A and B are shown apart, each in its own frame.
Chain A
Amino acid sequence: MAIRHWRVKDRYYRLIGSRCTECGAECFPPVYRCRKCGSEKIEDREMPQSGKIVTYTQLHEPLPGFEAQAPFYLAVVELDNGAKMLTQLVDSTDESVKTGAKVVATVRRARVDGDSGQITYGYKFRVT
């Protein structure tokens, strides 16, 4: 099933994930089948915009298109509802980035297409 374009944007702008109506588990990115109980009774759910760092790493040689931002932090963040996601950290000092540190979601430029100039926006997180 193709996900409509603007639905994808809601995922990247607003953290629209999934909630299982059978067991209540929430997850991001969205799924068609609950990871916890296997139910297909899934609804859209906006994820909480805050959470904490579970683990992190600093990237010095990122993927093509992201070199100018290097070095930057990538972290696994556990949102307040328990959903875990991989995200870039911004505006955060080396001292502030640590396991357990509180983070909030922000929308930033993810990348700019070199030829067309199209800007892709998406979520990143910063330490509060």
Chain B
Amino acid sequence: MYLMQSKERAAIQGYGAYVPYYRLPTTEIAKVWKGGGSGPNVEKAVAAMDEDTVTMAIEAGRYAMKMAGTERLGAVFVGTESKPYAVKPTSTIVAQALGQHHTLAADLEFACKAGTEAMQIVTGLVGSGMIEAGLAIGMDTAQGRPGDDLEYTAASGGAAYVIGRKDKKSAAVIDCSTSFVSDTGDFWRRAHERYPRHLSRFTGEPAYFHHIENSVNTLFKETGHKPSDFKYAVFHQPNPRFPVEVATRLGFTMEQIKTGLLNPLIGNTYAGSSPIGLAAVLDEASPGDKILLASFGSGAGSDAFCIEVLDGIAATRGVNPTVKSMMERSTRIDYSTYSKFRDKLHK
């Protein structure tokens, strides 16, 4: 058995997303580097010049704690590949801003799946009874080398989850999960390098598809679930095409994935990508709905979850702005403003 399931079930008590205010249309990038056209996605979310993973994690964390109605967190994990400091935790700054000192704080790094592994770890800590509740955050201010294919999608945003012991107030129970990893050289960034490197021919088949298909098929095999059992499915979204392709291969329909498919309008928020997709689904889901969540992180691995929405979801409505409203509250910027915001210009 490869299935991970806590003896005492852990549940999502509150969640919060964060999408920054600025959007860069991909036509702007194409204008500068390729002379026209657009990228695979329409726009991407861009953090303001005074925002970073710390500030965005605090925003999402505050929303999640407000919804959960909790003031005490036994753990604060921030999954990200865009830490403001190479050495100095992101999680301690976030914890202090959330009023938490007696807490297990740590940064997790696994390219785009650092957010979901934070959720698994907190689920384990809660399920074992070590803590009452903890916070799992997936957040990034992802950057691609100017002109690189990655620049069209590398975006800013993410989501935070307060996971606690399942009770009457729970919004959704984390029933079980699986993980699948292998040493795959599809994407990396060495220390002191500013932008990541990738092998284009490696990012699809042996990386994204191989790992997600393994984690999800293992989940299906060991739980007996099939795609039609799920009302919604959320996959990691490096571009608009891959999640649709992997969903189709696994037997899911467009209807099941469209609610959580945010890449076309916000881009790839890396560690935040599948967690914010899940937040968009929770904004609309009803008690009894099952959700399949599958992340992918280069290097490489995938975590797949079976989540079931509970009656407590009703009380979460209206507490925080929805993901949709955060996506709508936006303003378009040009490539030069984006370059200034994201520190690509030096005086």
- Within B301-325, which residues are at the interface with A (CB < 8 Å)? none
- Within B37-74, which residues are at the interface with A (CB < 8 Å)? 48-52, 54-55, 58-59, 62
Are B48 and A119 touching (Cβ within 8 A)?
no
Partner pick for A124 among B21, B50, B84, B97, CB 8 A cutoff: B50
Shortest distance from the beta carbon of B318 to any chain A beta carbon, whole Å: 14
A107-B55, A107-B59, A119-B84 known; A14 vs B50 contact (CB < 8 Å): no
Partner pick for A121 among B21, B55, B99, CB 8 A cutoff: B55
B336, CB-defined interface residue at 8 Å:
no
Count chain A residues whose beta carbon lies closer than 8 angstroms to a beta carbon of B: 21
Find chain A residues with CB under 8 A from B20 CB: 91
Shortest distance from the beta carbon of A85 to any chain B beta carbon, whole Å: 18
Are B97 and A107 touching (Cβ within 8 A)?
yes
Find chain B residues with CB under 8 A from A49 CB: 62
Q: B interface, how many residues as a size bin?
A: 20 to 34
Find chain B residues with CB under 8 A from A126 CB: 21
Are A108 and B50 touching (Cβ within 8 A)?
yes
Are B21 and A69 touching (Cβ within 8 A)?
no
Partner pick for B97 among A13, A93, A109, A110, CB 8 A cutoff: A13
A119 and B55 alpha carbons, distance in the complex (Å): 11
Chain B residues within CB distance 8 Å of chain A: 20-21, 48-52, 54-55, 58-59, 62, 84-85, 93, 96-97, 99, 331, 340
* 24 A–B contacts from the bound complex (CB under 8 Å): A13-B96, A13-B97, A68-B340, A69-B49, A69-B50, A90-B48, A91-B20, A91-B21, A93-B331, A106-B55, A107-B58, A107-B97, A108-B48, A108-B50, A108-B51, A108-B55, A109-B50, A109-B52, A109-B55, A119-B85, A121-B54, A121-B93, A121-B97, A124-B50
Chain A residues within CB distance 8 Å of chain B: 6, 9-10, 13-14, 46, 49, 68-69, 90-91, 93, 106-110, 119, 121, 124, 126
